[in-house]
Amino acid sequence: MDYKFLKTENRKDHIGILTISAPKSLNALNTVILTEINDYIDNLDESIRVLIVTGDGPKAFVAGADIAEMKIKNAQEALEFGEFGSSVFKKIEDLEIPVIAAVNGFALGGGCELSLACDIRIASENARFGQPEVTLGIIPGFSGTVRLTKICGMAVAKELIFTGKMIKADEAYRVGLISKICPLENLMEECLKMAGAILKCAPIAVKNAKASINKVYDVTRDEAIKNENNLFSECFASEDQTEGMSAFLEKRKPVFNNK
């Protein structure tokens, strides 16, 4: 599929970069862009072990969903739009590989929700986050009430969603929404550095760690612990576990299978 609003890069170091590119609308999400993202995720190159998601231009990661498109929807059409956007973001969250959001400006509404679907969020100093939907007479529709609550807690989620206010990067860091802040010109470098640190680790271990963490909120505590135990033991059937522990005992750096 040829993409009109996406730029993609598969680097030789097993890092993929997905750039949402509709700078005239500050990369606002519409059905076409969501369809392109959905196709990209469905056909993600198997060589990619870490994916970085960002927005085109210095002003916005994604400034929200396309309000002009949403304004004319009826309740049934809105349900279908919300379900589609949520399903695309769930695919991102459920990818076996880590996904890093390089938040390079406004991450509002659907843009904030997209960043929440990523595993790690690194933001530039000019980044701004918010769920302003209540100021438009609606609520977040792409799972924002769910993920913001899980990541930042109920009190923070209610304040941001009930007021629709926008917060700066330093406040986003304080409430646990992002992991790191850096100058805009260093943002991709910081994300690549983070990806590089992940790539030094055993692929099977990173995959299973993500699967275990993602399961925590979906099941009871005891079920989550059992799931972790199973994923832990599964690692012991891998070449990576043998190599990792052998390298430690032999006082050398491990060489993991990058497949």
Residues that are catalytic: 113, 133
Choose among 185, 192, 134: nearest CA to 158. Answer: 134
Beta bridge partners of 55: 20
Residue 242, Cβ neighbours under 10 Å: how many?
Answer: 12
Dig out the tokens for 139 from the structure. 């609520």
Find the angle CA(154)-CA(144)-CA(169) to the nearest 5 degrees.
80
State how far the alpha carbon of 135 is from the alpha carbons of 83, 162, 199, in Å. Answer: 21, 9, 42
Instruction: List, as one string, the DSSP characters of 33-69.
Output: HHHHHHHHHHT--TT-SEEEEEESSSSEEE--B-HHH
Phi/psi region, residue 99 (left: phi>0; alpha: psi -120 to 50; beta: rest), is beta
